[in-house]
Structure 1
Amino acid sequence: MAAEPLNLTLDGVVEPRARVAVANQVTGIVSRVLVVSGRQVEIGEPLFEIDAAEFEIDVAAAKAALDESIAQLRLAEDVAERQSRLAERGSGAEARATQAMIEVNVAKAVVARQESALRRAELALRRTRIVASIAGIVRPRVAPGAFVEAEAGTVLAEIVQTDPILVGYSVSYEDRQRSLKKAGTTSARDMFDKIVLSLVLPSGETYAHHGQPKFESAEVDRSTGMLTTWAEFPNPDGVLVPGLTVQVLSAIHSGPPSTRAAQ
């Protein structure tokens, strides 16, 4: 007969899987806000546009400067080639040929510098279009027309990842040790693999998806004697929202890892 699982009922709070503050990397005026508050966004999805006119001018100027430096390099190379042929024939001063090669090297350095300037200008132009770095629910904090400085640390928006989502719950040290013993291990990670978690919502309903513990706090809270464990749950329908209090039902079986219910 199979051994009875160790069941625990614990208090938990829903927390976002990740929270990212969206900031601008260039200074300018926000020309467009491309999302509305509460909308789900995906990685790489455009969120804001900063007026790009000045940056487009900088790119055009950098391209012109690069073209000019390339033309100067070609001219220097042509002069150097002619001076080299004259020196080989003995009809020109060797010093002039050497000077011509130095001018070629200087021109190459100018081209390299202008290429870097163009790349920098193009990078700044790309940064006028601000995209989401994670998938989640977005909340813009600025409106079109706002002037934002790159150095000011302005938060343009906040993205909260809610699928999957975390639930943090407290476990007494004694219950943790009982769970390790039930799992037949001294490793928290191995114990987590044998735990099946379910949630009871404030309405009394059982949440449709099961979760799994992922990590725990490194210290026991001295005032309560509890450790915090964070579990990950699928949240495709947005039922779980950050700040929601839930009951966490933890079942741990001895022996090999248990088969989890379909997510």
Structure 2
Amino acid sequence: MNRKRKLLIPLLFCSAMLTACDDKSTENAAAMTPEVGVVTLSPGSVNVMSELPGRTVPYEVAEIRPQVGGIIIKRNFIEGDKVNQGDSLYQIDPAPLQAELNSAKGSLAKALSTASNARITFNRQASLLKTNYVSRQDYDTARTQLNEAEANVTVAKAAVEQATINLQYANVTSPITGVSGKSSVTVGALVTANQGDALVTVQRLDPIYVDLTQSVQDFLRMKEEVASGQIKQVQGSTPVQLNLENGKRYSQTGTLKFSDPTVDETTGSVTLRAIFPNPNGDLLPGMYVTALVDEGSRQNVLLVPQEGVTHNAQGKATALILDKDDVVQLREINATKAIGNQWIVTAGLQAGDRVIVSGLQRIHPGIKARAISSSQENASTESKQ
């Protein structure tokens, strides 16, 4: 009996040792399984924004040129200041123009007098013709002279009108309300009618245009997606926002006006024009800006955090997922557009997939991993940039 006890004790000790080893192996295996953060994808809707480069363009531009020649005797504006429509900018010496007007008026008076005498002569010839006291030829001559005299009156009146207009043109005014630029002439300069160089340029900057460029590929893609119903556009004007060169967002929201129907052969792009309020003059002509154009709402899309998207040696987008058995799988995906810190994925993934977004350095395809909820778990729900 004692001998049996002696044999049983070592056996129980060995069994306990084996059980402890098995438990420790299980614990070690569990400890060696890497933990990864995952995001479970679910379809949602997102507002799609296109980021387009552009430059600011004045709403109206008037290059001021003289319509009559003469000497500039006065400049009536301060460079860089606002001018209103009809404000006087320059005064050209009116004396020669006034003399031309006086001469034209004298010519008109002479023509009127000649016409009056011609009319009296014609009426007399017409009366005498009835009694055959004058020949038909004398009558015709009188009628011709009257017609010529009346024509000369018309010419003289036109000369007076033109001289009056020229005298008014001596006061060079602004045709628009805007901001004046640098004057190219000073007092005493001789200018000529319709000269090539502008005296000054006036630009209307409130509102102001922004000309944007969009590639033909993106333009056609957007048209196709709208036509197929993938993107739903809001009826009415399309809102546009601006980022300035200093990285700040412009405070005013603009609207898209139109798209140029012509493709630029050099750049392969189309031009879109937006209009923005510019009450404080923050936008100046020629500024480089980046516009965010609201294309519309895309329905039933999958959004994947950027941390979960990588690119292989061929430049193709890929993502690591955990399958139903918690095995890491590599998927090649089609990431079409970045929305904030997420990608729109149109192929390679589906709703319910668990995309790995953290712990990527500890895993590779084919191994098991333990999923933990990521802070970006709801990344694929409805989002707006």
Measure how far apart 1:66 and its partner are: 0.6
Aligned equivalents of 2:44, 2:147: Cα separation in 1? 81
Name the residue aligned to 2:212. 169
Alignment of 1:86-165 (within 5 A): 86-139=128-181, 140-150=183-193, 152-165=195-208
SS for the counterpart of 2:123 is: helix
What residue ranges of structure 2 are gaps of 5+ in the alignment? 1-42, 299-385
- Say if 1:6 and 1:182, in contact at 8 Å, map to a contact too: no
SS for the counterpart of 2:199 is: strand
Letter in 2 for 1:234: P
SS for the counterpart of 2:274 is: strand
Aligned equivalents of 2:87, 2:226: Cα separation in 1? 44
- Say if 1:6 and 1:179, in contact at 8 Å, map to a contact too: no
SS for the counterpart of 2:280 is: coil
Measure how far apart 1:58 and its partner are: 0.8
Q: Deviations over 1:3-43 (max 9, x none)?
A: 42112233333222343321112111112212121122233
Aligned equivalents of 1:149, 1:203: Cα separation in 2? 44
Name the residue aligned to 1:246. 289
Letter in 2 for 1:5: N
Name the residue aligned to 2:381. none
Measure how far apart 1:55 and its partner are: 0.7
Measure how far apart 1:254 and its partner are: 4.5
Task: Choose the corresponding residue for 1:76, options 96, 112, 118.
Answer: 118
Name the residue aligned to 2:59. 17
Aligned equivalents of 1:219, 1:106: Cα separation in 2? 58
Structure number with greater CO (CA < 8 Å, separation at least 6) is 1
Q: Percent of aligned pairs with the same residue? A: 25
Equivalenced residue count is 251
- Say if 2:69 and 2:193, in contact at 8 Å, map to a contact too: yes
What residue ranges of structure 1 are gaps of 5+ in the alignment? 256-263
Aligned equivalents of 1:115, 1:177: Cα separation in 2? 61
Letter in 2 for 1:218: T
- Say if 1:24 and 1:154, in contact at 8 Å, map to a contact too: no
- Say if 2:65 and 2:195, in contact at 8 Å, map to a contact too: no
Comparing 25-34 with 195-204, which one deviates more in the overlay? 195-204
Name the residue aligned to 2:365. none
Name the residue aligned to 2:380. none
Q: Deviations over 1:55-97 (max 9, x none)?
A: 1111111111111111111112112222322332344444433
* 1:10–1:104 distance in 2 versus 1, CA, 3 Å: closer
Name the residue aligned to 1:261. none
- Say if 1:185 and 1:191, in contact at 8 Å, map to a contact too: no
Measure how far apart 1:108 and its partner are: 1.2
Task: Choose the corresponding residue for 1:233, options 276, 280, 284.
Answer: 276
Aligned equivalents of 1:177, 1:146: Cα separation in 2? 54
Q: TM-score, normalised by structure 2?
A: 0.58
Aligned equivalents of 2:44, 2:261: Cα separation in 1? 32
- Say if 1:13 and 1:243, in contact at 8 Å, map to a contact too: yes
* 1:217–1:18 distance in 2 versus 1, CA, 3 Å: farther
Measure how far apart 1:210 and its partner are: 1.4
Measure how far apart 1:52 and its partner are: 0.9
Higher Cα radius of gyration: 2
Measure how far apart 1:128 and its partner are: 1.4
Aligned equivalents of 2:136, 2:209: Cα separation in 1? 76
Q: TM-score, normalised by structure 1?
A: 0.82
Alignment of 1:169-208 (within 5 A): 169-184=212-227, 195-208=238-251
Name the residue aligned to 2:259. 215
SS for the counterpart of 2:283 is: coil
**Structure with more of its chain in strand, by fraction:** 2
* 1:76–1:220 distance in 2 versus 1, CA, 3 Å: closer
